[in-house]
Homo-oligomer: A and B are copies of this chain.
Amino acid sequence: MPLERSWIESANSPETDFPLNNLALGVFTADGVQRCGVAIGDRILDATGLEEAGLLTLGDTPVLDLPFWNEVMELGPEAWTALRDRLKELLREGAPERDIVTSLLHPMDGAELHLPFAISEFTDFYAGRHHATNVGTMFRGAENALPPNWLHIPIGYNGRASSVVVAGTDIRRPWGQLKGPNDPGPRFAPSARFDLELELGAIVGQASDGTVTVAEADAMIFGYVLLNDWSARDIQAWEYQPLGPFQAKATATTISPWIVMRAALEPFRCASPAREVALLPYLEEPGPMLYDIALEVDLTPEGASPTTIARTNYREMYYSSAQQLAHHTTSGCPMNVGDLLGSGTISGPTKDSRGSLLELSWGGKEPIPVGNQTRSFLEDGDTITLRGTAQGDGYRIGFGPCAGKLLPALADPYAR
């Protein structure tokens, strides 16, 4: 599919994340009020204003009056298609509504962005084979790198929805229980091994109340965001046996401000890798369920220039979001509109394609260069920025930058 041209010239640039083909959805502040918006070139279209003006009608009652996209999700896939079709009508080259729509455009530069949807529950997976192999090798040795279940199950665990924040939100280095392998006991101190995780987040747009197939799961996915699952490796190492990560992952998870709808990614579908062992039938994919999305991680020390510390691609995953969601329902677990599923860390096969500092610095043993500094784990003042783009024919689909800055730990977290 070629570029779909818009009368908004900046949307036709091959350098924008937001051509007419994308139509990513967010929430922004206009005149002091949070409103639903659509990214188009270097502008944000006030979708709530479109609905108020009678230019966009999706349901019997307003669905964009509250500042999140959940109500549109609830309307279901036909409404999702209708939304895109109508937005394209209004924004395509030659659209007759140009004048009135122009009055609803706001500059993206400097806009205040918010969480684009109300997050119901958050589940994180561990479904990238390179990542699981790297981490497993560090913790259990190369012979036992992959747990016995790994090639059969998209391993997941429940995260904490309350800790999900939108890009641009500062992150505070957490305190926690830490114990080095030779320490006699734990101490309570700021995390010294605070890390990022490069992930893609899938947004569940339809509820279910029983087991769903992979095809059904794919159809339930409304769209995707970039996701940084901040992780305190030292807290994790001491707490995670036997019931998994808990406080290590509860400080914050940052998502990109823009939801890229599944429809915008259709041209970029690609197959999962060959299976070393056959999957159980309930996990078999009816077609390609990954996407060719180039990803990169920039680290910007306080007052310094950014360094790209990793480049990889979402097609490196072993399990797709649709498989993860299908597995999530096997027990009968009800899924709700607004559930967020993290893909798991997306690492590639090479050293420079690893999606966490844990892997990039090999547990801190091989610090990586960052400008004229080095990093094993994050330092106070570091900003991490994730980027993701699917390259089309003369255009690209992007998520906008997913950035977060690490602030120093509080001197005393119990000071009142």
Given contacts A162-B336, A330-B174, contact A242 B239 (CB under 8 A): no
Report the stretch among A42-50, A63-71, A145-153, A353-361 that lies at the interface: A145-153
Give the interface size class of chain A.
35 or more
Asked if B414 and A213 make an inter-chain contact with CB atoms under 8 angstroms apart, the answer reads yes
Contacts of A335 in B (CB 8 A): 162
Q: Interface code A245-268, partner B: CB below 8 Å = 1, 0 otherwise?
A: 111101110000000000000000
* Chain B residues with CB below 8 A from A241, complex form: 147-149
- Shortest A19–chain B CB gap in Å is 36
Q: Is A243 a contact of B174 with CB atoms below 8 Å? A: no
Question: CB of A185 within 8 A of chain B?
Answer: yes
| Interface status of A155 (Cβ within 8 A of chain B) | yes
> Judging by beta carbons under 8 Å apart, are B152 and A244 in contact?
no
Q: Which residues of B contact A161 (CB under 8 A)?
A: 121
Say if the beta carbon of A327 comes within 8 Å of chain B: yes
Q: Does A349 contact B (CB under 8 A)?
A: no
Mask: chain A, 183-195; 1 = CB below 8 Å from B; 0 = not: 0011110000000
Whether a CB of chain B sits under 8 angstroms from the CB of A7 is no
Q: Do A188 and B280 form a contact, CB below 8 Å, given A175-B211, A175-B331?
A: yes
By a CB distance below 8 angstroms, the chain B residues around A162 are 120-121, 333-336, 339
Q: Per-position contact with B for A146-170: 1 when CB-CB < 8 Å, else 0?
A: 0111001101111111110000000
- The CA-CA distance from A161 to B235 in the complex, in Å, is 25
Q: How many copies does the complex hold?
A: 2
Q: A176-B331, A333-B247 are in contact. Are A210 and B413 (CB under 8 A)?
A: yes
Bound Cα distance from A172 to B213, whole angstroms: 19
A126 touches B (CB below 8 Å): yes
Closest B-chain residue to A238, C-beta based? Answer: B149
Please give, as numbers and ranges, the residues of chain B lying within 8 Å of A273 by CB-CB distance: none
Residues of chain B within 8 A (CB-CB) of A121 are 121, 160-162
**Can you list 19 A-B pairs with a CB-CB distance of less than 8 A?**
A121-B160, A126-B242, A149-B241, A152-B179, A153-B177, A157-B157, A158-B246, A162-B336, A176-B330, A176-B331, A188-B330, A247-B331, A247-B333, A250-B333, A251-B331, A251-B332, A251-B333, A282-B414, A332-B413
Interface set of A (CB-CB < 8 Å, partner B): 120-121, 126, 147-149, 152-153, 155-163, 172, 174-177, 179, 185-188, 210-211, 213, 232, 235, 238-248, 250-252, 277, 280-282, 327-328, 330-336, 339, 413-414
Known: A240-B243, A242-B244, A247-B328. 7 other contacts (CB 8 A): A121-B161, A157-B157, A157-B243, A158-B159, A188-B330, A232-B331, A332-B413
